[in-house]
Each structure stands twice: as C-alpha cells, then as structure tokens.
Amino acid sequence: MREGPKQFLVFINQKVIGDVVSEDEILAAVPDWKKSTLDTYRKKHKLEKFIVPDGRKRFRVVMNGNVVTEAMINNALSQVTPKVLDLLPNEVVLGRKDSYHLIRQLGFGAVGMVWEARVQGSGERVAVKICDPRPDLLEPSVFANVADRFRRESRLGPRIQHPSIIRYLDDGDHKGMPFLVMELARHSLRDELSQTGRMTSSETAAIGRQIAVGLSWIHSQNCVHRDVKPPNILITDRGYVLGDLGILRWGQLNPRFTNAGTITRASIQLGSGSYMAPEQIEDAHGATAASDVYAFGITLFELLTGDVPTPHRAAAGQLGNPSDRAELNILITRMTNYRPEDRPSLVEVLDVLSGIRPAASG
C-alpha cells in the first residue's frame, strides 16, 4: 500500500460518522498528499465513500472509521473512475426545441445534477437535469443502463402533463449524456421543512391531497413514480407538485454507499432508502403502485414529525402517533404496512386526507 493511502487509512480509522474535518487536518495527517492531490481525488469522487464536502474546505465523515479497511482504500483510490461531466455557468445546452444557458447548479443525486438555466431568446428560467452518474453512489457497471433509461424517460417526459406533476419542456443530449428540461420550482418540500420544521395535521393533509391526485394520475397511466419523498415534491406557482419520475433502483446503488452503517440525511436524499418499500428494496423490479403508497406514507410521517423512520421501525409498525388526528395516524400505519396488499388505495388515502381540515375560527 502506498504511503499516502496508508496515512489516510490511519486518519479515517479514528473518525466516526458525522465528524467534521478540515482540509488542513487531512493534509496534516496525510503529509504525502499535496493540496492538488486531494483536489484531484475529490473531483474524481474517489473520497466520497468516506468524506463529503460540508462547506468551504470542510468535510463530513460518512462512514465509521472502524469498518474502513486497507482494501477499501486501495479500491477507492486506484479504480478507474468513469468520466464525470464538467459543466460551467454560461455553458450552452442544446435541446430539441430551445437552447439553454446554464446559470448555477441547484443540486445533485446518484443519477445526475440539476442546473438553473435561462432559455435563449425568451429569458425564461427553467431547470435542466443532466444525467451524470456518480461512481461513489452507483455501481459503474450499471452506468450505461441508467443513462439509457434516463434518455428514454426524458423522451417520454413531455407526455406526462398534469397539474400535480412538474411540467416537462424539452430534452436532448449534451456531451454524450441525456438531459431533460423542466419548469423551475421555487424550492422543494425538503427545503420548506428545513425552514419551518414539522407541519400541522391540516397542513400535511392539504399537501397530501395534491400529491395523492398526482400519484393517482401517474398510476392511471400504468406508471409507477418510484421516488416519492420531500426532495422530489416541489413548490411551484401551481402549488405542490411531484418531481420527475425516479429511474433508479436500489440494487444499482454502490454497496459501499448502501452499507455505510447508517442512514444519514444525505443518504436519504441521494439513495431514498428510508422511503423505499420493502418489496422495492428486495426486488429491483418490485416497485408497484403500492410501493408509491408506502413512500407517500413515510413522507406524510416526516411532514408531521420532522423525522424519517428507519425501514425496520416502519416494518415493525412502530411509528406511534405522529399527529393529533387518530384517522391520520391509522392511515399512515396502513400506508407503511410491510405487506403491499394491506396498504390502502390512493382513493382511500385521498378520502381520509379530504376529511382533515383546519379548525373553524371564531
């Protein structure tokens, strides 16, 4: 084992999930690395199995050091990493209908990144989602398959038009990778939760009604969303809408990510593990309409409590009473039932949510 990786192994072995370390601390502990070495590993996503950026020149530890081995370090720092897109502000992306000037990156996931962009000519602001699979989160062997599915669903996107679903506007390829263009949302439900904290029963029910209507329409088109969660519920001028359909399957995620030993807020956003129904995790082709109901139930629980229960807790029926309304508590317990056939239909879900309204004033 080379000296630099050996020094990094000693350093990371002393850390636990959640620790925050500075760039200077890493370089002091790994004297064989220069700043340029650390920057190179970061750009190639070779260290993100162990540490992820957490502000300027700071990193958050995402794997307990006592499980990190020499083989894991060697594999992470020596494997061939697939090409990662290098996009810059003002870069022009050519779609089928329009051209788009990238403005700033809004976020990223295992499959790709989202940029705010400006439509050439009209100046309208839109969101451009570009496929750019990350090797730290996805198995490299599935990259081609994921890109093909992203491209196929980008082409199908414009056919999905409903008031409770994000509007698809365009698609194309950029630097050999598919992208899709959507309306630009103000922010996500996850952002709103971070700002306001937990929500009341009536607020949760109001949001839930809009999402239930969108999910019902998706299911009526013989589709399954596969990725219902607060980061994928967006706030637009039309209210709360479902974000684009998920194309990722749990089995395609990098085992080093899924077996990190804990489910953190970051891993929930990237991997959706806590929102996935048991059958969806166990079988790559197991997602059904009932799986979306499960994820929807976990989402309602999070809105009420600010907490995301582990799959084990949900499977054991140990969610307690997240709200002050018995009918809502019972509904969430049914929605998160381990057995898909025991979960309610969206018609039943909408019926319960429709009966939960703010108390009359005066």
Q: Which ranges of the chain does DSSP label H, i.e. alpha helix? A: 3-13, 23-29, 35-43, 70-78, 143-156, 189-196, 201-220, 255-258, 265-271, 278-282, 289-305, 311-315, 326-335, 346-354
At 192, list the tokens: 């709103």
**Number of neighbours of residue 200 by Cβ within 10 angstroms:** 16
Cβ(190)–Cβ(231) under 8 Å?
yes
How many helices (H) and strands (E) in the chain?
Answer: 14, 12
Cβ(243)–Cβ(199) under 8 Å?
no
For 30-65, the DSSP string reads: -TT--HHHHHHHHHTT-STTTEEE-STTEEEE-S-G
Which of these is catalytic: 227, 244, 324, 342? 227
- The yes-or-no answer on residue 227 being catalytic is yes
Cβ(38)–Cβ(23) under 8 Å?
yes
Looking at residue 229, its amino acid is K
Cβ(52)–Cβ(266) under 8 Å?
yes
Q: Of 124, 118, 8, give the one whose Cα is nearest residue 73.
A: 8
Whole-angstrom Cα Rg for the chain? 21
Taken as a whole, the chain contains a residue count of 362
List residues with catalytic annotation. Answer: 227
